[in-house]
Structure 1
């Protein structure tokens, strides 16, 4: 079920780089969310309409009746969102998304880039709780772009870090050790979220190794429920287009074309 709620802001603060953390009291959404889903948030006050559209954010974590979101500041909407204060209310639509990560495996290879790690974190937390195996890779250009380090440490998640400039973790791309990691984890699928270039590179390696690869796509969305058809990607297997918000957000890499 999808809810359209006025959610109380419990925390909205700067972390690093261009990333903020936003915690909202949203009991109905928290209770009914599956890992991989997202919400649409109206950044402005209820009677303000510039910008008009809501913004899509992955549900990165859930604690009791609280959902946690991470967002990068890019334009007017997210810039305005940084000005919203603890105790105020935001209009939130969710949980959204229908096609999610597969849960039937016992071992996973998880690859996140930048803010994209927020699309994977709740799933990691859940498989960790279930005692399943995983290898998590997290990369960015520099340390300050690894904005979820604090969350990772608080939740005792084991992660291999990569930075392009070597300012934290291993120096280089998140894909540099991937072939060996795939070979060391037979039958483990890859779950990926991050910049398109990174997802393309990871997908190419996964396909070459004949390994299942699931991409959680990020896209600009107007409605989040499949009506506007503004967030489509090409489905190569069916030679048509599918909506990231409705048929996704998770797709098998071999089935879609990342533009």
Structure 2
């Protein structure tokens, strides 16, 4: 059952680029949270009016009863969220999402672009814990956008992650798709999981279809409710020729069945 929790902020700080890290404690969310789940955060204080309601953020990590959220600052809602202090309470709805990542393959390629890497990080940690073989690709335009470098190091994932910057300022120079085809052919029964900008996910999906490899995308959509009522985050289901809700039927979809 979905619940709206009043949680206490344990950390809320600038990381790099336009990215901040928010941490809060809630035992129930922590117990229920699985990779690809997300939460709807009300960053605006209760005494302020916000017509855009809450913001959706992927659960990037869970440590004991503490939930980690990485968020980019773009507009009013995320700007106000940066002003919330440690010890203050905010309202969080979650964990949300019904369709999560499948785990019935022998090898996984996880392709994250920008803040979309935070939509895959919790899964990487779970794979590492279960000794499930995978390789992650983390792509950004320039070094200062690599907001999760410390998280990668702290979780001993340096050997599991290949980093690409478009300008060559860190790691490999190029797009996340530069070596994807070669990497996808290295192992049998491989699946690709991706999260990030739509253009990047389309490029990843194109390579997957060229190689006839399963591909699943965790979609990032603007949401008002987060649980299927407002029908504001739909994508086209090309199999059934109708529309499905990212927040409710997703957030993870087989890219062969939807229109990215």
The secondary structure found in structure 2 opposite 1:203 is helix
CA contact (8 A) 2:106 2:188 kept: no
The answer for the alignment partner of 1:145 in structure 2 is 145
The aligned residue for residue 116 of structure 1 is: 116
List runs of 5+ in structure 1 lacking aligned partners.
none
The alignment status of 1:179 with 2:181, answered yes or no, reads yes
Match of 2:192 in 1: 190
- Aligned residue for 1:254, secondary structure, equals coil
**For residues 7 and 118 of structure 1, what CA distance do their matches in structure 2 show?**
21
Stretches of structure 2 lacking an aligned partner (at least 5 in a row): none
- 2:82 corresponds to 1:82: yes
Alpha-carbon distance in structure 2 between the residues aligned to 1:106 and 1:89 = 42
Match of 1:28 in 2: 28
1:2 deviation in Å?
1.4
The verdict on how the C-alpha distance between 1:42 and 1:57 changes in structure 2, with shifts beyond 3 A counting, is same
Q: Residues of 2 paired with 1:8 and 1:115: CA distance?
A: 23
Give the CA deviation at 1:33.
1.0
2:3 pairs with 1:3 = yes
How many aligned residue pairs are there?
258
Q: SS of the residue aligned with 1:184? A: coil
**Local SS of the residue matching 1:87:** coil
Asked if the contact 2:106/2:189 (under 8 Å) is kept, the reply is: no
Local SS of the residue matching 1:118: helix
User: 2:14 maps to what in 1?
Assistant: 14
Cα RMSD, aligned residues only: 0.8
Per the alignment, residue 101 of structure 1 pairs with 101
More displaced 10-residue stretch of structure 1: 50-59 or 80-89: 50-59
Aligned to 1:135: 135
Query: What is the TM-score when the length of structure 2 is the normalising length?
Result: 0.98
* CA drift at 1:44: 1.0
Q: Tell me if the contact between 1:46 and 1:91 (Cα under 8 Å) persists in the aligned partners.
A: no
Stretches (4+) displaced over 2 A = none
